Structure 1
Amino acid sequence: MNVWRGEQVETLGRRRTTAAFDVRARAPLRLGLAGGGTDLSPYCDQFGGAVLNVTIDRFAFAHVSPDPHGAVTFRAHDLGVGERHALGSRPRLDEGLVLHRAVYDHMVETYLDGDAPALTVSTNIDAPAGSGLGSSSALVVALVEAFRLALDLPLGPGDVAHLAFMIERRKLGLAGGRQDQYAAAYGGVNFIEFLPGDKVLVSPLRVPRAYLNEFESSLVICFTGQSRHSETIIKEQIDGLVGMNAETLESMHQLKADAALMREALLRGDMRDMAEILMRSWKAKKRTARGVATDAVDRLFDLAIAEGAWGGKVSGAGGGGFLMFFTDPENRHHLISTLNAAGGQASSVKVTFEGAEAWSVPR
């Protein structure tokens, strides 16, 4: 039943400002362990892509509630940005809080017959913008999940992920791949294949608990302090694929092969092998586009290797954001302390197994 329905409110239209419930949702961020970039078109459309990713204890949150001013209000609390629009207005989708607006517009047009409700849609994310943790896509997934519950829509995780992808990549035309939406919608440790014809296969990995404990104990993530702008990097990768650039294609094939090898190493609990694959993938990733590595990335990366990290790479497209490293668990505290002293923002991280979730709370 639609959680906004009640005796005092007849429709989810302009009069709906007295509903008894608010809706909240969250979707996890992810670390891309291997295969990132092979989920880009046109590579996955022609050759099929494969990624291995894992969701972590960082989240994108969305909150949807009736707007007391009878308008449509969007807020991004972590960015300190807000905007208010009159009902029925059609703000542009090329500036401001475009993710919020695009999801709201889609829900109104597709499920409410264009009858725009007076709502406040607010968000926040547990990571800086441009983190490389899939935060923008997780935010879209959280927004879609909130509306899924609010409107009582029959959407499963695959539907939510596909809809989030269509809104972000097709409706808004934002550059990027497909893995982030599916990781956020499903949660956990997943080997995801992106096949021609927009077919997606999500295979959750049943990793023994002892191996997951070792994985978490060996893992260090570090924000470089440099928010990345991935559009230029992704465009160069796509241009290389469209033009059948031999080096780009060879690197993408290597990244896809590494995803399968990383899956097998994790299922064996072999952290040393995983670290070696990370290093090989990092070298392949740098060959796909200029700007994947920056001075800040190289400085922290080289320091981590010198201080005992077995291997590492960036999470996401590169150009900044988060680095991830594997190290001996007994060296993890030293590595974190050293990276922080050098200006990074390093920490441990835990694996999460729940995907996007939504719930209602009384007003």
Structure 2
Amino acid sequence: MKIFSPVRISFAGGGTDLPFFYEKFGGRVLNATLNFGWHIELRKNPFKAIDIIFEGKRISFLEDEKQHQGDAFKIIRGPIKDFLPYKSGFFLTVKKDRPLLGLGSSGSLIVGLCNILSKFKGQRLSPRTIAERAFAIEYEDLGWLTGKQDHYAASFGGINIFHFGPKNVRVEPLKLEKKTKSQLRERLKIFFIGGARSFDLQKKLSEAVSEKKRLASLFKLREQVGLSAELLKKGDLDGLGELLNDSWNEKKKSNPSVSNDKIEKIYYLALKSGALGGKLAGAGQGGHMFFISKKGQEEKLVKRLQDFGVENVNFDFYSRRV
């Protein structure tokens, strides 16, 4: 069997999906899934062995865990252990379309693994159950500081507002007119700026600012979810671009170390080249940036940033559930 698990971009509310915030105050995030991510294939093994090929590298699940200290091995091993026992062994192949840094890729991968392993065992799990199980594996079992939006985005697909509470999550699909969605796809430009994955980065960044300042910024980021949704519903992409600019400034207040000289140069160049606003996707320091362009300035924006050395990412929105 084969499955696909998408990654996402977050328009507003990122950070309010972290447990320390939503368990006390409630969080909200507006995000959208994209048509690239993880491809996972599972085939039954006539023997008891569980063999894994991750990005072309073969790994045996039964090998000593100390031999594999990499984050990728931990991500894959987590769901496999969580769904034990199995009636037979299997071959598991995992690959991605392209670099996914900053787009919720670890959460998406765990969702994909939970999805395919549950199907292999004959279980019918809802998108909500898969999202919660995947989050528990990453946050509790692996001990990584992560929010819930990645797991819910990959499980539900589409453009959604997720309302995170201490005991439940409410999913609010954002229904846009076809014209608005088409214009958003045309004027939204995503760029890969490079960088390396670090699962302890979120923890380091969270320690870079006082709790009082961080909370104040997170409250503002949460408020911007409703504003962003209303702008999208009205088709006001100019307003959305300007709000993204405000959101980026608030994100830097909540975590000053989220940016660096390279990111600031790219952002400044984008604004000078036709972007109304944008932000860095993910925890910070690298990965992907996205911008809303002024109408008619899309090609100029792409060319200027490509000349600077960053990669323009072709995409479409993805709306299927697990």
On whether the aligned pair clears a TM of 0.5, the verdict is yes
Paired residues of 2:205 and 2:257 also in contact (CA < 8 A): no
Rounded Cα–Cα distance in structure 2 between residues aligned with 1:146 and 1:289: 36
Instruction: Note closer, same or farther for the CA distance 1:85–1:226 as it changes in structure 2 (3 Å cut).
Output: closer
1:104 to 76, 80, 104: 80
2:212 to 246, 252, 256: 246
Paired residues of 2:108 and 2:150 also in contact (CA < 8 A): yes
Instruction: Note closer, same or farther for the CA distance 1:145–1:321 as it changes in structure 2 (3 Å cut).
Output: same
Within a 5 Å distance, the mapping from 1:55-70 to structure 2 comes to 55-67=33-45, 70=48
Paired residues of 2:146 and 2:202 also in contact (CA < 8 A): no
1:203 to 147, 160, 172: 172
Equivalent in the alignment of 2:32 = 54
Greater CA drift, 227-236 or 251-260:
227-236
Gaps of 5+ in 1: 1-22, 357-363
1:323 to 289, 295, 320: 289
1:121 paired with 2:99, answer no
Equivalent in the alignment of 2:251 = 285
1:74 paired with 2:86, answer no
TM-score, normalised to structure 1's length?
Answer: 0.83
Instruction: Note closer, same or farther for the CA distance 1:218–1:234 as it changes in structure 2 (3 Å cut).
Output: farther
Question: Aligned residues: percent identity?
Answer: 29
Paired residues of 1:217 and 1:329 also in contact (CA < 8 A): no
Paired residues of 1:233 and 1:290 also in contact (CA < 8 A): no
Gaps of 5+ in 2: none
Rounded Cα–Cα distance in structure 2 between residues aligned with 1:127 and 1:234: 26
CA shift for structure 1 position 124: 1.2
Equivalent in the alignment of 1:169 = 139
Paired residues of 2:208 and 2:255 also in contact (CA < 8 A): no
Instruction: Note closer, same or farther for the CA distance 1:325–1:349 as it changes in structure 2 (3 Å cut).
Output: same
Rounded Cα–Cα distance in structure 1 between residues aligned with 2:75 and 2:30: 26
State the structure with more CA Rg.
1
Paired residues of 1:100 and 1:121 also in contact (CA < 8 A): no
Rounded Cα–Cα distance in structure 2 between residues aligned with 1:338 and 1:142: 36
Paired residues of 2:205 and 2:258 also in contact (CA < 8 A): no
CA shift for structure 1 position 120: 1.6
Instruction: Note closer, same or farther for the CA distance 1:73–1:275 as it changes in structure 2 (3 Å cut).
Output: same
Instruction: Note closer, same or farther for the CA distance 1:254–1:338 as it changes in structure 2 (3 Å cut).
Output: same
Instruction: Note closer, same or farther for the CA distance 1:44–1:328 as it changes in structure 2 (3 Å cut).
Output: same
Equivalent in the alignment of 1:3 = none
CA shift for structure 1 position 54: 0.5
Paired residues of 2:102 and 2:288 also in contact (CA < 8 A): yes
- The one-letter code sitting in structure 2 at the alignment partner of 1:284 is E
Residue 181 of structure 1 aligns to a residue whose secondary structure is: helix
Paired residues of 2:208 and 2:257 also in contact (CA < 8 A): no
Paired residues of 1:310 and 1:325 also in contact (CA < 8 A): yes
CA shift for structure 1 position 26: 0.9
Within a 5 Å distance, the mapping from 1:171-250 to structure 2 comes to 171-197=141-167, 199-229=168-198, 231-237=200-206, 245-250=211-216
- The one-letter code sitting in structure 2 at the alignment partner of 1:195 is G
Within a 5 Å distance, the mapping from 1:239-318 to structure 2 comes to 245-318=211-284
Residue 106 of structure 2 aligns to a residue whose secondary structure is: helix
What's the C-alpha RMSD, in Å, of the aligned pairs? 2.0
Paired residues of 1:183 and 1:355 also in contact (CA < 8 A): no
Equivalent in the alignment of 1:354 = 320
Which structure carries more helix by proportion?
A: 2
Q: How many positions carry a matched residue from both structures?
A: 320
Instruction: Note closer, same or farther for the CA distance 1:238–1:63 as it changes in structure 2 (3 Å cut).
Output: farther
2:69 to 84, 95, 103: 95
Equivalent in the alignment of 1:33 = 11
Paired residues of 2:28 and 2:162 also in contact (CA < 8 A): yes
Equivalent in the alignment of 1:335 = 301
